[in-house]
Amino acid sequence: MPQLGESVTEGTIGRWLKRPGETVAKYEPLLEVITDKVDTEVPAPEAGTVLEILVAEGDTVRVGTVIARIGAPEEVATGAQPATSPEPPAPVVTPVATQLAAAAPPAVAQPAADGTARSGFISPVVARLAAEHGLDLTRIAGTGQGGRVTKQDVLRYLETRQAEAPVAAPTTPEAPSPRVVAAPPAPASADATPLPEDAELVPLTPMRRSIAEHMERSVRTAPHVTTVMEADLSRVVAHREANKAAFERQGARLTFTPYFVQAVVVGLQRVPVMNGRFTDAGIVLNRRIHIGVAVALDEGLLVPVIRDADEKNLLGLARIVNDLAGRARTRRLAPDETQGGTFTITNHGVSGSLFATPIINQPQAAILGVGAIVKRPVVVTQHGVDAIAIKPMCYLSLTFDHRIADGATADAFLAAVKEALEGV
């Protein structure tokens, strides 16, 4: 399992693109690996024949684990088949992986559900799920390497536990003893309820499941509050129309997104706490500004990050927005490119939405929702005289963590964003 990002400690085999016995060229795509919400094609490090696949599709392993073998054609074993390899060779850990392993939760020895001993690496995701739900991992049968408990094992355990949980019956004083009736067996899963004939069950993709878990955790973690203002984008629209052709000649398509990124930079510089994150020890203020921009895909949402957005001009922002959005839609982002953001922008207005209450991208302090730009009549005042004018207006909705900021602070930030947009 290759090192796919500085903060990535494990990956899930999404799909093998080659099978045992097939030849592969050096740097030809060999498999797809899923890390969080990003699918990454992994090229073959050498040319040769795929001799053996050691990790099956859907399995999650640590960085540095041997997942396949490539060699000369004469080395192919007769009848070689894809295998899950219950006891694969010891992982070959790179220096970077060693550093990551040291920073990750330590490996712990666990007794298996059948009483036998097993030892396995507990990933940060598994550790977080266990902490959130108060789980004893020794009670969960692991299907990973060497009996390691994987994320999928924990989710299956939670579904089974929920399905088998007894429903407390209301108590009635001096009620007669009820007649005992044998209850039907509990379903094996919370999703085992029979479906009507006119319905179908669509399995969750890894991306959809990851988004669901992240959004649920965010709502449980932070008290969400949303404040809304509207901005007059007359100057932004005029500036874009005047400069679109010039940007095209320099190889950059000028959209509205770079303007919103620039305005958010102004707001974060004026109200730095909105570029922070909450911890039990205090509020961490990030000195660098890394802005995530949500990109909608057919199967979900990705948030590539513009690093050091405050150091880029409008042309630079336009180029990087085009690049990141294009590679997000073609699933060519590296895992690190969706991590490390300090603030997020979601432009829900591209589909016609006027305003929304977006969910915070944890552990950030806030997220800005940008509504559709709509021409409508507004009252303008010039030289003390009120008049009605047609203006391109846009609602800006800021959802923020109330543990970090109060309404006045959030409004000050949003007002700075509005002022920056109207002063272009």
Q: Global pTM? A: 0.66
Asked whether the predicted pLDDT for residue 142 surpasses 90, the reply is no
pLDDT at residue 109 in the model: 39
Known catalytic residues are 402, 406
pLDDT at residue 320 in the model: 97
Write out the two tokens for 234: 């007359």
* CB-based contact 76:49 (threshold 8 Å): yes
Query: Which residue is associated with the tokens 């040769």?
Result: 48
Per DSSP, the three-state class of 141 is: coil
Tell me whether residue 51 is exposed, middle or buried, using C-beta atoms within 10 angstroms of its C-beta: 0 to 12, 13 to 18, 19 or more. middle
Torsion sign across C-alpha atoms 193, 194, 200, 203 = positive
Identity at 1, one-letter amino acid code? M
CA distances from 333 to 191, 325, 336, 408 (A): 33, 9, 8, 37
Asked whether the predicted pLDDT for residue 308 surpasses 80, the reply is yes
Give percent of the chain above pLDDT 70. 79
As a whole number, mean pLDDT of residues 82-98 equals 41
Main-chain dihedrals φ then ψ at residue 86, nearest 5 degrees: -60, -30
Asked whether the predicted pLDDT for residue 57 surpasses 80, the reply is yes
Q: Residue 146 — pLDDT band, cuts 50, 70, 90?
A: low
> Of 59-63, 269-273, 381-385, which range is least confident?
59-63
Residues 191-200: pLDDT tens digits? 556 888 889 9
Per DSSP, the three-state class of 368 is: strand
In sequence order, what DSSP letters do the residues of 98-129 get, joined into one string?
HHHHHHSPPPEEEE-TTS-EEEE---HHHHHH
Main-chain dihedrals φ then ψ at residue 180, nearest 5 degrees: -80, 125
> For residue 397, how many other CB atoms are within 10 A of its CB?
23
Identify the structural domains of the chain with CATH numbers, from first to last: 10-100 (2.40.50.100), 105-162 (4.10.320.10), 224-422 (3.30.559.10)
DSSP-derived letter for residue 170 is P
Q: Residue 378 — pLDDT band, cuts 50, 70, 90?
A: very high
As a whole number, mean pLDDT of residues 408-422 equals 98
Write out the two tokens for 169: 């019956």
Asked whether the predicted pLDDT for residue 111 surpasses 50, the reply is no
As a whole number, mean pLDDT of residues 124-140 equals 76
Query: Which residue is associated with the tokens 């088949």?
Result: 81
pLDDT at residue 364 in the model: 97
Question: What integer best gives the mean pLDDT of the chain?
Answer: 82
